[in-house]
Structure 1
Amino acid sequence: MTDNLIRADDRAIFGDKGYVSNKRKRAARADGVLRAVKDKRKRGRVLSSSQKKRNHKRNHKHGHKHGSVRAKVEHVFRVIKCRFGYRRVRDKGLARNAGQSLSRAQAVDGVARLK
C-alpha cells in the first residue's frame, strides 16, 4: 500500500518505521530520494551501532519536520474520533465505508475552515 502513496516526483520520504522494508530502502537509494524513515530491528536481533547512529541523526535532523507533519495528520483522526464519535468501521462494503470516511474527512476540513 505504501508504494501507491509515493509519486515519481517525490524527493523525500517521511514515514513510520512500521512500514520499512529493505526493498523500498534500496529503491529509494537508487532513485536518489531522501529517506527519512528510521531503521527497525528485526525480530530477535538488535540494531547495529551504525543503524542506531543513523536513527539518532534522523531524529535530530528531521525530528521536527516529521513531528509537525505527523501532528497535522493525526489531528484529523482525533477530530473524527472525538468530535464525530467515529470509532469503528461497520462491515457495509468497501465502497460505502470509503464514502463515509471521505465524508467525515470533508466534515473535518469544513470544521477546520470555520476556525
Structure 2
Amino acid sequence: MHTITATAANAHDITEAHKLLREDDHVVYGDSGWYIGIEKRDEIKNNDHFRKIGFRINRRPKSLPQVSDHAIDWERYIENRKSAVRCKVEHAFKIIKDTFGFRKVRYQGLAKNFNKLNVLFACANLLMVKREQIKSQKALIRG
C-alpha cells in the first residue's frame, strides 16, 4: 500500500482515484462496483500519463455470458486472474480490520481518522513484510 486518502462517507471512490495514481503506474486493477468508466473521467483524460495507464477493471458478473457445461469459460477465467492481482491490496484491509480491530472510525473529523489510517496501513505493510520474511526463511530451511 503506497497511497491512501480519506473522505466523507458520501464521497464516491472514483472521485479520489486520480489522487491514488502515481507517475510510475502503468497498469491499474479495480473492481466493477467502483471503477467502471474511470478512463472517461476528466482527471484521467486530461493527464498525459494517466491516459496511457492500462485500466483492468473487473466486469460485473451478470454481464458475463453463459457458457455450456463442457466449454471452457475464458471470460470468467480472465476475471478471476484480475481478482487475484487485486487481492494483494485487499489483504492490507483484512489485517487492519481483523488483526488491529479497526472496523469503524473512532474520532470525529477526517484529520484524526486519516492520521490513524496512515499509522494502521504502515503497520499492516510492516506486518506483511515480516510474514514474507518468515515464509522465505522457512523455505530456506526446508530447501
Q: Does TM, scored on the shorter chain, surpass 0.5?
A: yes
Following superposition, the deviation at residue 8 of structure 1 comes to 4.6
Aligned to 1:76: 92
Q: Does 1:96 align with 2:116?
A: no
Corresponding residue to 1:6 among 9, 21, 37: 21
Partner of 1:36: 56
Residue identity matched to 1:96: K
With normalisation by structure 1, the TM-score equals 0.62
With structure 2 as the length reference, what TM-score do the two structures score?
0.53
Higher relative contact order (CA 8 A, sep 6+): 2
* 1:81/1:32 CA distance change after superposition, 3 Å: closer
1:63 matched residue in structure 2: 80
* Runs (5+) with no aligned partner, structure 1: 41-45
Matches within 5 A, 1:14-29: 14-18=29-33, 19-21=35-37, 23-24=40-41, 27=45
Shift of 1:89: 0.6
* C-alpha distance in 1 between matches for 2:59 and 2:84: 20
Instruction: Name the SS of the counterpart of 2:104 in structure 1.
Output: coil
Instruction: Give the number of aligned pairs.
Output: 101
Q: CA RMSD in A?
A: 3.3
Tell whether the 8 Å contact from 1:81 to 1:87 is kept in structure 2 after alignment. Answer: yes
